[in-house]
Amino acid sequence: MQEVTRHRPRLATFRSAPLRLFAGNGNPALAHAIAAELGIEAGNMVVGRFSNGEVRVRISDNVRGTDVFVVESMASPVNEHLVELLVITDALRRASAARITAVVPHYPYARQDRKSAGREPISAKLVANLLTTAGVDRVLTMDLHAPQIQGFFDIPLDHLTSMPILAKYLEKYAGERPMVVSPDAGGVHRARLLAERLGIPVGFVDKRRPEPNVAEVVHVVGKVEGRTAILVDDMIDTGGTTAAAARALLDFGARRVVAAATHAVLSGPAIERLREAPLEEIVLTDTLPLPAGADGRYRVLSVAPLLADAIVRIHEDRSITQLFET
């Protein structure tokens, strides 16, 4: 006899259910900024560790019948915060929350979205399975490294972009003949979206990656002579790609180079590499906390208002797409 999968009952609408927000340890500053934008306080819960390192969670507030949003950005250590989100979700589900939305501004394992060689995992799909199995009903994320990750989920996923936030700030370079440049061919679509918002040309750096986290610049496609080049990417990780692209753009005649990205992963030697890179400014958002050692060239823009607006729209069953139509 075929087993029937039973889902817990869902409300037809959540407008009448109280909205609650809980903050994980991945980026508590962003979570509390979102709560402030919503005009509420983050819920009370204990998130710690047992003596052997296992995650310990206890929800202190009554969440029965509520529409819960858990903010957990996957800052380093990524695996710690991923497991933390899973355990928090399980606690909320067992406490009878009506709906659980995981607010994951930076989605983990996003670069492992396909098999590039034999016997490799598709870890981004595994993370989607873990979140769904834990009891997440919906996911809210931002600037996925690979848009096809949306298809890994059988539950609703809302995908936001920081392009309007970055574009508004980068308008200050309008008088310097700016040009948006993607650090690789794979990011041209993202660069084109920003360029269209700013009404400026777009180009890209042709590079080869002989091994993970190592980039080798081959050529610059686009006329950058005398222009301010705006390097745009979804994330800056070890900084190698950004630093190499910045030097190449100056070699090809760019006046100066500005880097802009959504996620400040900045792992390993990133801070040191970027300190030595010929960058005028490094524009990032607060989806991830900025690590120690960042110098005065860093400019951090907040995505809290955008995420708060999206949370309200999800809670009230309104369109997310309308956020980006103007």
Q: Which residues are part of the catalytic machinery?
A: 207
- Alpha-carbon gap, residue 265 to 112, rounded angstroms: 16
- Alpha-carbon gap, residue 321 to 163, rounded angstroms: 14
- Alpha-carbon gap, residue 137 to 132, rounded angstroms: 7
What DSSP letter does each residue of 164-207 carry, written as one string? Answer: HHHHHHHGGGGGG-EEEEESSGGGHHHHHHHHHHHT--EEEEEE
Contact, 266 vs 293, CB < 8 A? no
**What are φ and ψ of residue 180, in 5° steps?**
-85, 135
Find all residues with CB under 8 Å of 302, minimum gap 6, and list them: 30, 33, 285, 286
Contact, 273 vs 240, CB < 8 A? yes
Outline where DSSP puts E strands in the chain: 19-23, 45-49, 55-59, 67-71, 99-104, 138-142, 157-160, 178-182, 202-211, 214-221, 228-236, 256-264, 281-285, 298-301
- Alpha-carbon gap, residue 23 to 69, rounded angstroms: 9
